[in-house]
Structures are given as C-alpha cells and as structure tokens.
Chain A
Amino acid sequence: SQQGEEDPQALSIQEGENATMNCSYKTSINNLQWYRQNSGRGLVHLILIRSNEREKHSGRLRVTLDTSKKSSSLLITASRAADTASYFCATDLTGANSKLTFGKGITLSVRP
C-alpha cells in the first residue's frame, strides 16, 4: 500500500510559472524526501526535510513539512521545460532506516 499520496496527479503549467505539489502521509516519519523521475528511468533526489524541520530551500525548490497535518508541499519556482518529469514524495518511516515508502507520483508538464 502507498504511504504517501501526492496531489494533484497531473499538473500542466507554462514556463516561468510556479508549480506546487502536495503530499500527505499516514504515520510517523523520520524524514520526507522528494524525487524526480524522467521518462521511467532512475530517480533523482531533490530534497530531504527532517521531521523537526518546517521549511527547506534548495535553488528553485522550496519544501514545507507540517507533521501535525502529516503533509508536505514542494514548490518549484520559475519553472522550465526541463522540469517536465514525474515527482514523487517518499517517507522514511520512524524506525525504517531509509526503507522508503513512495506515493504514486505527480506528472508535471511545463509548456515552453
């Protein structure tokens, strides 16, 4: 079963716009991670936020975590056509030692 549920399932935006993706989860976590996948190939790690952190930035990426609501959001600012990909949130559950549980993913299309 999936621990994380991403929302929306698909997102289409114009280049230059911001993209916001959401993730909800069910149980206690050590950290939450976001990954990108291009064309069904390997996953690329984007950002990790620990359970005691509320917000983190990395370049054009901003991730927030609300453990009381068991939710996270990923914001990509000033999107580019190269950001077109599938995005997954993954939870590292308490005691799981980096055995990640993934959601079904969000398909982002950035139109030039």
Chain B
Amino acid sequence: ETGVTQSPTHLIKTRGQQVTLRCSSQSGHNTVSWYQQALGQGPQFIFQYYREEENGRGNFPPRFSGLQFPNYSSELNVNALELDDSALYLCASSPIGQGYEQYFGPGTRLTVT
C-alpha cells in the first residue's frame, strides 16, 4: 500500500448537492493530482496542485474545484452534483516534475442519485 489516504471511502449524494473529498499525500511529495474513474473506464485527469496552486487542469467544468494545504494534503470539491459525477475519485501524489510515478490512494466511491 502507498502512504496516500482518502476519505471518505464511500459517499451517497443527491443531484444538486455539493461534496468535498479529502486526500493526504505520501510523505515528501509536494504534488497532488485528482482523477475521476467512471465504471469500466480508465482514470481521467481532473487537476493537479503544487505549492497550493492549481498546476494544470483536465477537461472538467469549473464546478470541480480543489485546494492544497501547506502540509500538501488536498480537497476536491464538486458543486451542483450531476448523475454523471458518480464515479471513483482517485487522488495521487508525486514529486513535481516529469518522469515520476504516481502514488494512488484507495479512492472515494461517489454515488449521485
């Protein structure tokens, strides 16, 4: 297992609600990336945070937002939840730069009804 933790493990929300997912990165890693994995698909890059600032964003609307804290932990916030937001949300940490593997957490399973 990696040193990346995520909470909660599972979450059920209603369409239109807001949700916050949390991630603690591996010790010594200053970069956190978030991915969305729909059922039967590969993970899709949402965004990356480095030194508390967004450092790249995938093809996701602004209602997906995030934060990174001084201890490198991170939050993913999703507003106005839609049914298609139901997915496994994965957090991954790594050192900044190219050529590094990602250390993934166990994920948060979000179900929107």
B 43-65 to A, binary, CB cutoff 8 A, 1 in contact else 0: 11100100000011010000000
How many residues belonging to A are interface residues under a CB distance threshold of 8 Å?
28
Residues of A15-44 at the interface with B, using a CB-CB cut-off of 8 Å, are 30-31, 33, 35, 40-44
Residues of B63-113 at the interface with A, using a CB-CB cut-off of 8 Å, are 88, 90, 92, 94, 96-107, 109
Kindly list chain A residues whose C-beta atoms are within 8 Å of the C-beta of B100.
98
Bound-state Cα–Cα, A31 to B101, Å: 10
Contact indicator A42/B97 (Cβ below 8 Å): no
Report, as a range, how many residues of chain B touch the other chain: 20 to 34
Contact indicator A104/B41 (Cβ below 8 Å): yes
**Number of A-B pairs, beta carbon distance below 8 Å:** 82
Kindly list chain A residues whose C-beta atoms are within 8 Å of the C-beta of B14.
none
Kindly list chain A residues whose C-beta atoms are within 8 Å of the C-beta of B31.
98
Q: A40-B88, A44-B104, A45-B103 are in contact. Are A97 and B97 (CB under 8 A)?
A: yes
A7 to chain B minimum Cβ distance, whole angstroms, is 14
| B17 interface contact, C-beta 8 A | no
| B20 interface contact, C-beta 8 A | no
Q: A42-B107, A45-B101 are in contact. Are A99 and B43 (CB under 8 A)?
A: no
Of the A-B pairs whose beta carbons lie under 8 Å apart in the complex, a sample of 7, sorted by A's number, is A4-B42, A43-B102, A45-B102, A48-B99, A95-B98, A98-B33, A98-B98
Q: Which residues of B contact A (CB under 8 A)?
A: 2, 4, 31, 33, 35, 37, 39-45, 48, 55-56, 58, 88, 90, 92, 94, 96-107, 109
Closest 7 CB pairs of A and B: A102-B42, A42-B106, A42-B104, A45-B101, A43-B104, A30-B98, A102-B43
